[in-house]
Amino acid sequence: MTEQSPAPPTPDQMPGYASQIPQRNILAALFAPVAGFGVSLSNMFKPMVTEQYPREPANVKPRFHGRHQLNRYPDGLEKCIGCELCAWACPADAIYVEAGDNTPDAQYSPGERYGMVYQVNYLRCILCGMCTEACPTRALTMTNDFELAGPTRAGLIWEKQDLLVGLSSGMLAPPHPMVAGTKDTEYYRGEVTEATDAQRDWVRENRPDDPSLDGTRAGLAKAAPVGATRAAQQKITAGARREGGAR
């Protein structure tokens, strides 16, 4: 090969070519070198959107699917009946439930059956919410709390005591009998609004020292303490806030 191939033509050398970029007017051409500061300058006068997480708690939307919560009826009995439909619905096999018998001496939920063991494995849970849809008693709902991270695997398997919501005013710590004259149907219909005196009398007789009897916030909190795993998670979260410079 002795001949060299010719270099390809540049666009403006091509016949019939015209640039599509419009020509700037004179003023724009003049300010063009500093136009980029416009965004920065205008934002100096707008409110800041940066989230100070973990220094401050994150703002999530109200229907965000966070960790689960096991709810109570207004008299303090648990809503969970241990039916395992949540475990059945779970696509990630993250929920383990064992049911137990309610007895006259130990009634935890209305009716005959209650959830004796309830575990959610947050190493598996994908927070899809199918379990809450399956729950026939609305015992299982989801909260906005998403801070589920820690240094151990065991710390991510939440037990019933970690998931169970605390007692609020008017409630009485189970086990205690159902409101006299009611069946589970009345509970489902929302006809039970608070613990009755008969229930308080029963608890007084069987557990005279029960802190939920006095009805104060401190008493209620003491009667339904936060579970160990949840407490550990709260500690981890609080530590992360401090590290992030929480005030």
Partner 1 sequence: MTTAPTTPRAGVPLVPAAPVVDAPAPADTVTLTVDGLEITVPKGTLVIRAAEQLGIAIPRFCDHPLLAPVGACRQCMVEVWAPGRDGNLAKMPKPQPSCAIECTNGMQVRTQHTSDEADTAQRAVMELILANHPLDCPICDKGGECPLQNQAVSNGRSDSRLLGGKRDYEKPVNVSAQILLDRERCVLCQRCTRFCEQVAGDKFVDLQMRGARQQIGGFDTRLLDFAGQAPVASADATGGEFASYFSGNTVQICPVGALTSASYRFRSRPFDLVSTPSVAEHDAMGSAIRIDHRRGKVLRRLAGDDQQVNTEWLTDKDRFAFRWQDAEDRITTPMVRRDGQLVAVSWLEALETAAEGLRKAMGSGGVGVLPGGRLTLEDAYAYSKFARVVLGTNDIDHRARVVSDEETAFLANQVAGSPMDVTFTDLVAAPHVVLVGFEPEDEGGIFFLRLREKVRAGSMTVTQVAAAASPGARRLSATLVPAAPGTEAELLDGAVAGADNPALALLAERAAADGAVIVVGERLAGSPGALSAAVRLARRSGALLAWVPRRAGERGAVEAGTLPNLLPGGRPAGEGEAWDEMAEVWGATNAPQRAGRPVNEILVAAWGSELGGLLVGGVDPGDLPDPAAVRNALDEVGFLVSLEVRHSQVTARADVVLPVAPPAEKPGTFVNWEGRPRPFAQALVSTQASDHRVLDRLATAMGCRLGLATLTAVHDELDRLGGWRGAKVAAPDVPAPTPPTVAAGHAVLASWRLLLDAGRGQDGEDFLARTARSTTAWVSAATAAALGDPEEVKVSTERGCVTVPVEVVDMADHVVWLPTNARDCQVYENLVAVAGDVVEIAGSDEEVQV
Is residue 111 at the binding interface for partner 1, with CB under 8 A as the rule?
yes
Q: Are 93 and 131 in contact (CB under 8 A)?
A: no
Is residue 87 at the binding interface for partner 1, with CB under 8 A as the rule?
yes
Is residue 127 at the binding interface for partner 1, with CB under 8 A as the rule?
no
Kindly state the smallest distance separating residue 97's Cβ from partner 1, in Å.
Answer: 9
**Given 69, 70, 79, 81, the residue binding partner 1 (CB under 8 A):** 81
Kindly state the smallest distance separating residue 105's Cβ from partner 1, in Å.
Answer: 16
Is residue 101 at the binding interface for partner 1, with CB under 8 A as the rule?
yes
Is residue 201 at the binding interface for partner 1, with CB under 8 A as the rule?
no
**Given 85, 164, 171, 224, the residue binding partner 1 (CB under 8 A):** 85
**Given 64, 65, 83, 143, the residue binding partner 1 (CB under 8 A):** 83
**Given 65, 113, 200, 222, the residue binding partner 1 (CB under 8 A):** 113
Is residue 130 at the binding interface for partner 1, with CB under 8 A as the rule?
no
Q: Which stretch, 47-55, 63-71, 97-105, 223-231, contacts partner 1 (CB under 8 A)?
A: 97-105
Interatomic CA distance for residues 114 and 132, integer angstroms: 17
Is residue 227 at the binding interface for partner 1, with CB under 8 A as the rule?
no
Q: Are 99 and 85 in contact (CB under 8 A)?
A: no
Kindly state the smallest distance separating residue 77's Cβ from partner 1, in Å.
Answer: 15
Cα-based torsion angle of the residue sequence 226, 232, 235, 237 in order, rounded to the nearest 10 degrees: -100
Three-state DSSP string of the chain:
CCCCCCCCCCHHHCCCCCCCCCCCCHHHHHHHHHCCHHHHHHHCCCCCCCCCCCCCCCCCCCCCCCCEEECECCCCCECCCCCCHHHHHCCCCCEEEEEEECECCECCCCCCEEEEEEEEECCCCCCCCHHHHHCCCCCEEECCCCCCCCCCCHHHEECHHHHECCCCCCCCCCCCCCCCCCCHHHHHCCCCCCCCHHHHHHHHHHCCCCHHHHCCHHHHHHHCCCCHHHHHHHHHHHHHHHHCCCC
Kindly state the smallest distance separating residue 158's Cβ from partner 1, in Å.
Answer: 18
**Given 52, 84, 128, 237, the residue binding partner 1 (CB under 8 A):** 84
- 135-154 residues in contact with partner 1 (CB under 8 A) are 136-137
**Given 74, 100, 129, 166, the residue binding partner 1 (CB under 8 A):** 100
- 170-199 residues in contact with partner 1 (CB under 8 A) are none
Peptide linkage before 62 cis (omega within 30 of 0) = no
Which residues are near partner 1 by CB under 8 A?
A: 81-85, 87-88, 98-101, 111-113, 136-137
